[in-house]
Amino acid sequence: MDLQWSGCRNVRDVGGLPTVDGRETRAGVLIRSESLQYLTPDGVEAVRRSGVSRILDLRGDDEVAQAPTPFTGTPLAVRQSLQDPADPQHGQPTIIEACTWMLDKRPELFAAAVKAIADEPDGAVVVHCHGGKDRTGMIVALALSIAGVPEEEIVADYYLTQSRLAIWLEEQLAAEPDVSKHPELVEFRDTRAESIVAILRHLDTTYGGPEAYLRHGGLTNDDLARLRARLVG
Give residue-wise pLDDT tens across range 68-90: 999 999 999 999 999 888 777 76
Chain centre to alpha carbon of residue 59:
10
Q: What is the phi-psi region of residue 147: left when phi exceeds 0, alpha when psi lies from -120 to 50, beta otherwise?
A: alpha
What pLDDT was estimated at residue 111?
A: 98
What pLDDT was estimated at residue 90?
A: 63
What pLDDT was estimated at residue 108?
A: 98
What pLDDT was estimated at residue 57?
A: 97
How large is the average pLDDT for residues 132-141?
Answer: 96
Has residue 166 got a pLDDT over 90?
Answer: no
- What is the reported pTM? 0.93
Sheet holding 52-57, edge to edge: 12-13, 30-33, 124-128, 52-57, 77-79
Contacts of 221 (CB under 8 A, 6+ apart): none
Secondary structure letter of residue 69 according to DSSP:
-
Has residue 35 got a pLDDT over 90?
Answer: yes
DSSP SS3 for 143: helix
What pLDDT was estimated at residue 207?
A: 98
Decide which of 191 and 29 is more confident: 29
DSSP SS3 for 220: coil
Domains of the chain (ranges; CATH) run 12-231 (3.90.190.10)
Contacts of 212 (CB under 8 A, 6+ apart): 203
What pLDDT was estimated at residue 180?
A: 83
